[in-house]
Structure 1
Amino acid sequence: MEWNEPQLIPLDRFRELRHRSPVERFEGEGYTGWRLFGYDEVKTAFTDYERFSSQGEHNPDDPIDSSILRQDPPKHRQLRMLVSKAFTPRVIESMEPAIRKLAEQLLDKAAAKPVFDVLEDLASPLPISVIARMLGIPEATSAASSNGRRIWSERTKSATSNASAR
């Protein structure tokens, strides 16, 4: 499949939405939010964290809720500076063989399923597993596995508490 086929990236649809309505309310299964299609609307949402907060309803069982992904400035900036030291090009290059092997394992597992969900089967567990390895969380308790979410959440909270205490 070519990258620009309408099924993969519906560029014509995005263009139409930008002109017709650059902001669209979205209600999905268990999720309600907004889709932004215009440059100015996206820029406003990214820079005005008072009105467009990343912090949603807190779920203590979801490790993402305690992560950098759900933090607004200045906490987000502090955590990003701390985390960026661990993600230097040299560190990532050294992990490339392990990341490639993990991606292949996830894709093999997904190929055995009748339906492949790229987010659930690859895009979510891959970075979570890589970060878990960087934090020293054993594979058996990886955050990508259901039994590892509690450990992941506790270590993430501990790391963010220690970082903000400095």
Structure 2
Amino acid sequence: MPEKLPAEFVFSPEFSRDPHSTYSALRDRGPVHPIDFPPGTDAFLVVDYEHGRKALNDPRLSMNPARWPELFPMIFGQGNPVLAHNMLNSDPPDHTRLRRLVSRAFTPRRTESLRPRVQEITDELIDAMTARGHADLLGDFAFPLPITVICELLGVPVDDRDAFGDWSTSLITPPLDEEQARHRAEANDAMRAYFGRIIAERRARPRDDMVSAMVAARDEEDLLSEEEVLSTLTLLLIAGHETTVNLIGNGMLALLTHPGQLALLRERPGLLPSAIEEFLRYDGPVERASFRFSTDDMEIAGVPVPKGSLVHVCLGAAGRDPGAFDDPDTLDITRTDNRHVAFGHGIHFCLGAPLARLEAQIAFETLLRRLPDLALACPPGEIAWHRNGSLIRGLRALPVRF
């Protein structure tokens, strides 16, 4: 059995800046490593592509927190967690039922119909930046674009988008100390109260939006519980912007620090779809997949994983595995057969992946076309990353000039 990694492994500033060299060193020693994260648990880190991809679709690894009651407070916090009852945190048949309901809003036709509105929002945000000649591309562009789209899709006011960002960060960060636990509890209560009011309003006055559709599925068809409505809407709001925010931020940083690739993309804009897939592989927006819990004694790559263990599948590590990708530490926007797992794999594959790709393609195309001299406004070493205690891989800010 490999030596157990300390919980601090995923929290150090050094790891947050460059997890890939650490993953590479771990992968040289083996694909699976025990880790004390969350502290006091039996947990394992999967850092290669082959076994990580298999684990993402292994029915012995449960996503339902109700099946791991002793770990429930540690993962979700005390009280009544708003994120505990949705399709992400469920197994079949509940997962199948909930995903079928939500998928109605993310059909290919519905997603493509959003293109004009996404383009309009993109242009408005760039218009607001151009007069200044500089911007924080995260706060001024990458965050407001997808949060506006998902708010309009759900049918909730976008005026509170800054609060949504704060709540989202708190809810996806494990509560490992008193301050994090307090922030998480406050965000949980705020999100619960917010969507509670929205649900009550739509129940009284339905509209043509996702909230009204979920309420109708609850009241008229009895297809889900009140708690599932609340939890699903919270999940969609968070997942509907977090992935795209960091896809744009991480991808643009990769381009701006690889001038040859940036010049190639400007010269050959038809490479944009493959460039998006390369950004997802090279430094994707989700560092680790959501917690999975072993329901039986099992093995992963020959390492015993006892029943009741948590399993962390490192999506970022899988994307840099030389066993799956040639020259994985090189950004190559012409890369073909890019079989990354940035959006997961199996039954929990990200339902909003087509929308994230659409938003990213419009964002990158418009930024590069309208801001031809876009460049970093600080040395790359000064750019700060979020701590990796959460599942997200993203920047705190991205200062640019143009």
Q: State the TM-score, normalizing by the size of structure 1.
A: 0.54
Listed as ranges, the matches of 1:145-160 within 5 Å are 145=165, 146=167, 149-150=191-192, 151-152=194-195, 155=199, 159=214
Matched, 1:136 2:178: no
For 2:148 and 2:84, the matched residues in 1 are separated by: 17
Q: 1 CA distance for matches of 2:32 and 2:123?
A: 35
Aligned pair in 2 of structure 1 residues 15, 8: CA closer, same or farther (>3 Å)? closer
Q: Name which of 105, 115, 120 aligns with 1:96.
A: 115
- Which consecutive residues of structure 1, in runs of 5 or more, have no partner in the other structure? 1-6
1:92 positional shift = 1.5
Q: Map 1:48-87; keep pairs closer than 5 Å.
A: 48-55=58-65, 57-59=75-77, 63-87=82-106
Which residue identity is paired with 2:224?
S
* TM-fit CA distance, 1:37: 1.9
- Alpha-carbon distance in structure 2 between the residues aligned to 1:102 and 1:76: 34
Contact 1:22 1:36 in 2 (8 A): yes
CA displacement at 1:87 relative to structure 2: 0.7
Distance 1:139 1:152, change over 3 A: same
Cα separation, 1, equivalents of 2:123 and 2:81:
23
1:21 aligns with 2:30: yes
> CA–CA distance in 2 between the matches of 1:112 and 1:26?
36
For residue 22 of structure 1, what is the amino acid of its counterpart? P
Distance 1:129 1:75, change over 3 A: farther
Which of 212, 224, 229 is the matching residue for 1:164? 224
Q: In the superposition, relative to structure 1, how do residues 36 and 97 fare at CA in structure 2: closer, same or farther (>3 Å)? A: farther
CA pair 38-75 structure 1, distance change in 2 beyond 3 A: same
**SS at 1:137 equivalent:** coil
> 3-state DSSP class of the match of 1:79?
helix
Question: For the residues of structure 2 that align with 1:48 and 1:15, how far apart are their CA atoms?
Answer: 24
Match of residue 37, structure 1, among 44, 47, 52: 47
Report if the CA contact (8 A) 2:46-2:52 is conserved: yes
Q: Kindly report structure 1 stretches of 4+ aligned residues shifted beyond 6 Å.
A: none
Residues 65 and 132 of structure 1, relative CA distance in 2, 3 Å threshold: farther
Distance 1:88 1:103 in 2: 25
Distance 2:142 2:86 in 1: 19
CA positional deviation for 1:41: 3.0
Deviations 1:1-37 (Å, cap 9, x if unpaired)?
xxxxxx8894x76555334121232648xxx964312
Structure 1 contact 129–144 (Cα < 8 Å) conserved: no
* Contact kept in structure 1, 2:63 and 2:88, CA below 8 Å: no
Cα offset for 1:63?
4.5
Call closer, same or farther: CA 1:19–1:75 in 2, change over 3 Å.
Answer: farther
CA displacement 1:44-66 (0-9 Å, x = unmatched): 43233444435354456764433
Q: Secondary structure at the match of 1:164?
A: coil
- Match of 1:73, SS state, is coil
Q: CA deviation at 1:78?
A: 1.6
Q: Give me the whole-angstrom Cα distance separating, in 2, the residues matched to 1:76 and 1:61.
A: 20
Contact 2:27 2:48 in 1 (8 A): yes
The structure with higher relative contact order (CA 8 Å, sep 6+) is: 2
Pairwise CA distance, 1:128: 5.8
For the Cα contact (< 8 Å) 1:103–1:122, is it kept in 2? no
Question: In 2, Cα distance between the equivalents of 1:96 and 1:83?
Answer: 20
Preserved contact between residue 62 and residue 91 of structure 2 (Cα < 8 Å): no
Distance 1:126 1:27 in 2: 33
